[in-house]
């Protein structure tokens, strides 16, 4: 068994698990990825343009196969060969590995976008189901179309429509026209989030309580206040 000293002396090449898990989706074959790792290992050790002979030996290939694999890495744009002048004016070649990380980031971005689209579609399905549950019946084609217009044309979020439906249910107004008025009212006030809806509801409740208090004061009889202790 290898000793701990030999293990640590051998050094380490750190790779993200994302790269290990998705190199096939980046279009790399097993051999191409192994060569990429070999080159990256040397890069981590400070050698940016290593001799391919020891790499071919490590991989059990001849140099011609390694050159072919390297060309494929360049063609697939997961590695580039660059050059720059040092302080002495000598031009040195080096491998640039940034392209594969940019491709990986693009792949993850596309994945997040697909997941977001999937979640959004699920929210819309759940929204239609919620309407049918609260209305206690299946929606008509016209009602489906009206809700679809809120989402696609008016650009109301499914969450905001759900809150407007909740508002209608609390007021026992099972009508899309009522919900439409609620949404229009929120739009005029630039209300787009659940927190803003809650603040608006609290504000409306305070105003109602204030009006109710003012109404009660008006209804009280006029009673003159008299200090009976001043009577002789």
Residue 222 has pLDDT above 70, yes or no: no
Q: Output the CATH code of domain 12-96.
A: 1.10.10.10
Residue 228 has pLDDT above 70, yes or no: no
Alpha carbon distance 148, 56 (integer Å): 60
Q: List the chain domain ranges.
A: 12-96, 115-204
pTM score: 0.68
Bridge partners, 80 (sequence order): 96
> How many Cα atoms sit within 13 Å of 190 on the Cβ side?
0
Nearest by Cα to 36 from 98, 118, 112, 111 = 98
| Same fold flag, 12-96 and 115-204 | yes
Alpha carbon distance 43, 98 (integer Å): 12
Q: What stretch of H or E contains 93?
A: strand 91-96
Helical spans, DSSP H, in 16-97: 17-22, 30-44, 52-59, 63-75
Q: Output the CATH code of domain 115-204.
A: 1.10.10.630
Mean pLDDT over the full length of the chain: 89
Given this model, what pLDDT does residue 92 score? 92
- Residue range 67-77: average pLDDT? 97
Given this model, what pLDDT does residue 106 score? 96
| pLDDT range class, residue 89, cuts 50, 70, 90 | confident
Residue 143 has pLDDT above 90, yes or no: yes
Given this model, what pLDDT does residue 6 score? 76
């Amino acid at each position: 068994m290898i000793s701990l000293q030999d293990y640590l002396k051998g050094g380490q090449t750190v790779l993200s698990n994302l790269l290990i898990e998705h190199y096939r989706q980046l279009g790399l074959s097993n051999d191409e990825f192994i060569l990429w790792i070999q080159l990256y290992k040397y890069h981590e050790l400070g050698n940016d343009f290593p001799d391919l002979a020891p790499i071919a030996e490590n991989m059990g290939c001849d140099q011609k196969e390694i050159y072919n694999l390297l060309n494929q890495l360049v063609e697939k744009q997961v590695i580039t060969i660059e050059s720059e002048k040092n302080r002495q004016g000598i031009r040195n070649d080096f491998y640039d590995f940034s392209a594969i990380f940019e491709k990986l980031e693009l792949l993850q971005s596309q994945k997040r976008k697909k997941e977001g689209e999937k979640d959004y579609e699920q929210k819309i399905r759940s929204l239609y189901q919620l309407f049918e549950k609260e209305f206690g019946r299946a929606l008509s084609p016209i009602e489906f179309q009206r809700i679809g217009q809120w989402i696609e044309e008016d650009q109301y979020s499914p969450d905001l429509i759900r809150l407007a439906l909740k508002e209608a249910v609390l007021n026992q107004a099972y009508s899309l026209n009522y919900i439409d008025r609620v949404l229009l009212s929120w739009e005029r006030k630039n209300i787009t989030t659940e927190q803003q809806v809650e603040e608006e509801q609290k504000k409306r409740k305070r105003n109602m309580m204030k009006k109710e208090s003012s109404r009660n004061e008006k209804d009280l009889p006029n009673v003159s206040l008299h200090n009976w202790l001043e009577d002789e």
